[in-house]
């Protein structure tokens, strides 16, 4: 079955970086893109950006431009999201989701909790 | 403040029908497809509706979506206690060049 398996929870200090992985299985990885969405505690969904697993093209949310980098490794069907210069308000659950063209997300990972605290 | 506006909460009795609205503008809902997601407590979001009114395989026809102008609506009939969740609308925003979500609506089945 189609699934996305994300890496485990992370605790980081302010100013550090975090890299979350998302391993896809059950479908042809390069036929879809991956969107990353985060959710701060008690808050709604925030789209972070999208990457094409076919050619690596990216589209990042304006708010995160310069701090976020999304990559893929087609040899392992894995997508990565790196967020730098972490702040306390980056504390959230980070989700990866399969997204054909950057418009809707039909399969979601279970989420990775990232806590930023000194 | 979310780009798309949803009511914070709605409620209805089991077996009844409820609708959840999602209001936007010409740069998002007015010219792009809308999707809807259900997030049960403590779980990841799940796609309910895409392209305004299409249901993915496995989503019961109790769930429906519609769009008119710059607003979209999610309808749920035959409410069940298991439908208690947060519901989010989402769409592409051409001005922001990114996906935007509503603030979410908490459904309570009384």
CA distance B9 to B21: 11
CA distance B104 to B94: 21
* List of residues 6+ apart from A99 with CB closer than 8 A: A32, A33, A34, A35, A50, A105, A106
Helix (H) or strand (E) holding B36: strand B34-39
How confident is the model at residue A95, as a pLDDT?
Answer: 98
Give the residues across from A71 on adjacent strands: A80
Nearest residue of chain B to residue A6 (CA atoms): B44
A90: phi then psi, degrees, rounded to nearest 5? -90, -5
> CB distance A104–B88 less than 8 Å?
no
Tens of pLDDT along chain A (118 residues) come to 999 999 999 999 999 999 999 999 999 999 999 999 999 999 999 999 999 999 999 999 999 999 999 999 999 999 999 999 999 999 999 999 999 776 799 999 999 999 999 9
How confident is the model at residue B70, as a pLDDT?
Answer: 97
Please give, rounded to a whole number of angstroms, the shortest distance from the CA of A15 to a CA of chain B. 26
Q: Does residue A51 contact residue A72 with C-beta atoms inside 8 Å? A: yes
């Amino acid at each position: 079955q189609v699934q996305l398996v994300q890496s485990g929870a992370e605790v980081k200090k302010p100013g550090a970086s975090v890299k979350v992985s998302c391993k896809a299985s059950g479908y042809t990885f390069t036929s879809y893109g991956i969107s990353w969405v985060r959710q701060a505690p008690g808050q709604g969904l925030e789209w972070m950006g999208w990457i094409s697993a076919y050619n690596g093209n990216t589209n990042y949310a304006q708010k995160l431009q310069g701090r976020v980098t999304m990559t893929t490794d087609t040899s392992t069907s894995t997508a990565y999201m790196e967020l730098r210069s972490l702040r306390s308000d980056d504390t959230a659950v980070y989700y990866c989701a399969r997204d054909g063209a950057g418009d809707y997300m039909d399969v979601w990972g279970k989420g990775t909790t990232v806590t930023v605290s000194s | 403040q979310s780009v798309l506006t949803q009511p914070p909460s709605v409620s209805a009795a089991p077996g009844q029908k409820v609708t959840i609205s999602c209001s936007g503008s010409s740069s998002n809902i007015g010219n792009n497809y809308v999707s809807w997601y259900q997030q049960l407590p403590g779980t990841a979001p799940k796609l309910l509706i895409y392209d305004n009114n299409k249901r993915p395989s496995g989503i019961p026809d109790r769930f429906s979506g519609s769009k008119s102008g710059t607003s979209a609506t999610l309808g749920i009939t035959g409410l069940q206690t298991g439908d208690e969740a947060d519901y989010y609308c989402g769409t592409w925003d051409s001005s922001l060049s990114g996906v935007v979500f509503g603030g979410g609506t908490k459904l309570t089945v009384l």
